[in-house]
Chains A and B, each alone.
Chain A
Amino acid sequence: MKITIKRYHPHFKPQYKDFTYEIPQNLTLLEALEYIKESIDNTLTFSKGCRSGVCGSCAVRVNEKEVLACEYKIEDGDKIEALNFIEPIRDLVVDIKKPLKTLKIAKTYLSKPNEISMNEKDEKLIRKQSDCILCAACYSSCPVFETNSNFLGPFALSRSYRYIADKREENKKEKIEAVISNGIFDCTLCGNCTVVCPQGIDPKRDILMIQSEALKYGYQNPNLSNFGSFGLDF
């Protein structure tokens, strides 16, 4: 069967070019990429690691939808390309450095651990979110990046919620403050991230959860409060 890969090299002209390859049946996309690299074209460039869906190295887009290459079974005619909204380096490899910086801005760690011990129920609250493998599939699917490249993005916000909801965190206020600007209120709640996440995480829901938590600290959704403040301004 045939698959097409949209390849990229910044020094070549044109920088983007589609290549079609003939590959054996029944492979995962990652196996297909390895097959091409080892037996057809040594220059094909992509990232890999665990090949079992936990290291988060191999996310790409197939027919414009984000998948993990190691978990996706190829079909005839598939079109493969790199993740969106992340600076391309070469072929399917993108520079994850900037997306990862959002974690620092969003302060996704226990800032001030308390002495409270977590029980089964508390752990359940953050179980799904802490399954995140930082593959950035959600980031690539998020339409906000079309207009705002400084948006914190779904995985950072979901991880922020994971620490806000953590019983062991004393300083929830600091966490919430960190995700106000370019954060929870910039999300359009489109739900793309939730659809593509290979780990079944629901960043959209987590963002809504932080929004309601933020209310307690006096942060209003500016998109909504426009209506409320109407009378005061004029």
Chain B
Amino acid sequence: MIYDVLVIGSGGAGLCAALSAKEIGAKVIVVGKSYPTRSQTSMAQGGINAVLNEEIDSIESHIEDSIKSSKGLCDKEIVEYVCKEAPLVIKWLDSIGVPFSRNGNFIAQRRLGGAKADRACYAQDYTGLKILHTLYDNTIKEDIEFLNEHFLLNLIVENGFVKGATFLDIKTSEVKQILAKSVILATGGYSKIYKNFSTNSSQATGDGIAAALRAGCKLSDMEFIQFHPTSLKKSSILISEAARGAGGKLIDQNGNRFADELLTRDELSRKIFEKIEQKNEIFLDITHLGEEFIEKNLPQERRLSIIYEGVDPVKEPIPIKPAAHYTMGGIDVDKNMQTNIKNLYAVGECANAKMHGANRLGGNSLLEIVVLGKLAGRNAALSSSKNYIEEKIYEQSINDTNFIKGVFNFPNKIDFYEKREFLSKIFYQNVGVKREEMGLKGVLSVVRQTQREFAFMGIKDRSPLYNTNLVEFIEFGNMIELSETILVSAISRNESRGAHFRADYPKQDDNNFLAHTLTWKEDGVLCADFVKVKDNA
């Protein structure tokens, strides 16, 4: 069986791509390691940006805010396209059933950080959940074929064209190849490298980006990782900006304030991190707002804090820390969402379409996954006729089958769970909100050592049946592969810009670094370079 379009990943980006490819008649399949509605997109609370009322806001202003936040690293054309499409996709989402919150007869909007107006459309605190579930309902309506609980291993590439991909069937540990004329990667970000120091779902392990890197794709701007200033201290679960917006104060253990709560995410994250480094404890205090106000306006924040921190914010300040939240970097794509491999597309958090540059604005990523997801689906479907696929067992498939068999016999002398834990800690300390050359180089040597030790690790679970030990091991392999690209990029960028802050180079340096960091592999060796940004003036 040969599909026109194979979509890998069933979050918001993947479902939008599948729906639009199907709409123009392509034979589509969506493959995911979990189930569509279990994707990280379900976690987005805040909203999705779009200018709906030109009397109080303007598309120009949305474009301006996005460019400003990107600190020179966005592609102006993409930003313009996405912001102009925004009102149309909100209309589309509304027409297929998303129950956005209303203000009277109109879709309600609220203000998120960095926006000049109330621009984020929302569905209570469940914006991502309700968008994702409505998209899923529509894929059922449109009879889209799904293959769930299949884990992407590698892309199949021949003569510069993608031919499909190989998957681990999680239920049986068999390796399967799926052939398609166009392939879209929509596998999400890589914040889970920071494990317990990340707000993300456990699925955000960057598998698709690592597979793309191995297949010969270029990655870009991998060092740009956004930290959220207020995640719960123990669990890193996100406490949304709404709490600060409503008047929440940041205090230390002595009750002293130390920062302007309305600074940008990266500035605030740094300030909090520095305080914690100096052995302070930091809290988000909303007690002064009173129970009635909190119950009405911040019920979700209260609930999360009680369950995961054991603290009722009505009575006590909430212990917090900054945590890795969103990865701006990813698979480098052009404005058609095409990678440097023919007929291979990437979209959503796994891709770098240069919508966000050095820093993402809240509410812009849900927007990106819908607008660009649809674009990727359309382009992939249209270009599918340009690829010829031979129906045979591809070498990649044989190699991966052997690899999986091999893993069952790895010696397991080194416990990868311990390594994973350790790596996440040194990443948070040295590759987090504040970086400097020595620390980065130290972590790089640990990562390279860990890569060498990979074959001495392995799995204890020898059953082929739904082996999550095996899945987590492969995810770990992907994370250490990507860790190297993040570190090499961060070490090369001797400046500070947006989410990338170098204590040893605290200034932005446009003369040398108004450029995207590219990383790719040649014969298994990682290469890096900068390419100047197209004129953004």
- Residues of A at the B interface (CB closer than 8 Å) are 9-11, 26, 28, 37-39, 42-43, 45-57, 71, 73, 89-90, 93, 96-97, 100, 103-104, 107-111, 113, 117-120, 122-123, 126-127, 130-134, 159, 163, 166, 168
- Stretch with Cβ within 8 A of A (4 or more), from B47-55, B68-76, B457-465, B488-496: B457-465
- Is A9 a contact of B463 with CB atoms below 8 Å? yes
Pick the residue among B34, B137, B235, B460 that contacts A57 (CB under 8 A). B34
Residue B401 lies at the interface, judged by CB distance under 8 Å to chain A: no
22 contacts between A and B (CB under 8 A): A9-B465, A11-B463, A26-B310, A37-B468, A42-B460, A45-B467, A49-B34, A49-B39, A49-B201, A52-B304, A55-B37, A55-B39, A55-B40, A96-B35, A108-B137, A109-B97, A118-B94, A126-B99, A130-B130, A132-B133, A166-B99, A168-B97
Question: How many angstroms between the C-alpha atoms of A107 and B203 in the bound complex?
Answer: 29
Question: How many angstroms between the C-alpha atoms of A29 and B133 in the bound complex?
Answer: 26
- Stretch with Cβ within 8 A of A (4 or more), from B100-108, B174-182, B335-343, B501-509: B100-108
Question: How many angstroms between the C-alpha atoms of A108 and B97 in the bound complex?
Answer: 11
Q: A51-B202, A117-B105 are in contact. Are A134 and B97 (CB under 8 A)?
A: no
- Is B461 a contact of A113 with CB atoms below 8 Å? no
CB distance from B303 to the nearest CB of A (A): 9
- Is B129 a contact of A54 with CB atoms below 8 Å? yes
Residue B485 lies at the interface, judged by CB distance under 8 Å to chain A: no
- Is B140 a contact of A42 with CB atoms below 8 Å? no
CB distance from A177 to the nearest CB of B (A): 16
CB distance from A231 to the nearest CB of B (A): 43
- Nearest B residue to A126 by beta-carbon distance? B99
Residue B466 lies at the interface, judged by CB distance under 8 Å to chain A: yes
Q: Which residues of A contact B323 (CB under 8 A)?
A: none
* Other contacts beyond A51-B202, A55-B201: 9, CB < 8 A: A10-B465, A38-B421, A47-B34, A49-B39, A54-B43, A93-B466, A110-B141, A118-B102, A123-B100
Q: Which of A9, A11, A42, A123 has the most CB atoms of chain B within a 10 A radius of its CB? A: A42
- Nearest B residue to A52 by beta-carbon distance? B237
Question: How many angstroms between the C-alpha atoms of A56 and B34 in the bound complex?
Answer: 11
Q: Which residues of B contact A103 (CB under 8 A)?
A: 137, 140
Q: Which residues of B contact A122 (CB under 8 A)?
A: 102
Question: How many angstroms between the C-alpha atoms of A55 and B201 in the bound complex?
Answer: 9
CB distance from A55 to the nearest CB of B (A): 5
Question: How many angstroms between the C-alpha atoms of A52 and B42 in the bound complex?
Answer: 10
- Is A71 a contact of B469 with CB atoms below 8 Å? no
Q: Which residues of A contact B1 (CB under 8 A)?
A: none
- Nearest A residue to B95 by beta-carbon distance? A113
Q: Which residues of B contact A10 (CB under 8 A)?
A: 465
Q: Which residues of A contact B148 (CB under 8 A)?
A: 97
8 Å CB interface, B126-183 against A: 126, 129-130, 133, 137-138, 140-141, 148, 171
Interface mask (B76-102 → A, CB under 8 Å = 1, otherwise 0): 000000000000000000111101111
- Is A49 a contact of B237 with CB atoms below 8 Å? no
Question: How many angstroms between the C-alpha atoms of A140 and B323 in the bound complex?
Answer: 35
Q: Which residues of B contact A110 (CB under 8 A)?
A: 96-97, 137, 141
- Nearest A residue to B412 by beta-carbon distance? A42
Pick the residue among B202, B310, B461 that contacts A43 (CB under 8 A). B461
